[in-house]
Structure 1
């Protein structure tokens, strides 16, 4: 099971935004360059992140994006679910209503449910600020 590039890029882009913002807007072209993410793809992701109230856009000269709230109040799970489909390891757990007609008698249903819950719990336990701190520790010359 893999998360899509949408989730990976969104998390990386928000870490970059947080590390390079210092309270000022950051242009997407700068994030795209530093993170090697195609600009048009990043624009689509930031539209979703904006709708999810994770970022705010600032118009005009010197404009760009800023976090909508502090990094310690943004769990990684929220970033992922804002740009990704639900984090269910199998289709029968989807909330779309289709579900699985065998759920009540399926011997593996509980296994998949527990796996999905574990993934969500793990991603919820990490915040954007945690990732920024880890990135700063791994990147010489960057202070936080």
Structure 2
């Protein structure tokens, strides 16, 4: 698994919003400029994260985007899956028909990668923005 540019941007946006303050509205243009994220791409990310109830979108004058959950309530996995979809170490773990040998039920590699995936997902679930914000820059 590789963290894509889209996930990297989304994680940075969440940190940026937390640094501004819970409930503080910020225009997408400001986020784009401060985080060096192309505005069109950022708007796409923000829509996905708003649909997943990670950020809240406000329209009109004084509008923008805000984070309203506590940092302990949002995990890295939640953000990545909001923008990328489910996380799979190998495509056969998400869809057994992707195995060209059609033997996911008896495949040793499949079982081994399933263990890796389970640990990865558990770690991403446990890693909250509260923990990230406490890390030294």
With normalisation by structure 2, the TM-score equals: 0.89
- For the 8 Å contact 1:28–1:42, the answer to whether it is kept is yes
Residues 22 and 124 of structure 1: CA distance in aligned 2, closer, same or farther (over 3 Å): closer
SS in 2 for 1:98: helix
User: Could you say which residue in structure 2 is the equivalent of 1:61?
Assistant: 61
User: Could you say which residue in structure 2 is the equivalent of 1:42?
Assistant: 42
User: Could you say which residue in structure 2 is the equivalent of 1:142?
Assistant: none
- For the 8 Å contact 2:74–2:129, the answer to whether it is kept is yes
Aligned residues: 135
User: Could you say which residue in structure 1 is the equivalent of 2:118?
Assistant: 117
- For the 8 Å contact 2:24–2:67, the answer to whether it is kept is no
- For the 8 Å contact 1:54–1:69, the answer to whether it is kept is yes
2: CA distance, partners of 1:5 / 1:77: 15
Shift of 1:23: 2.8
Shift of 1:21: 3.2
Moved over 6 A (4+): none
With normalisation by structure 1, the TM-score equals: 0.85
**CA RMSD of the aligned region, Å?**
1.6
Stretches of structure 1 that go unaligned for 5 or more consecutive residues are: 139-144
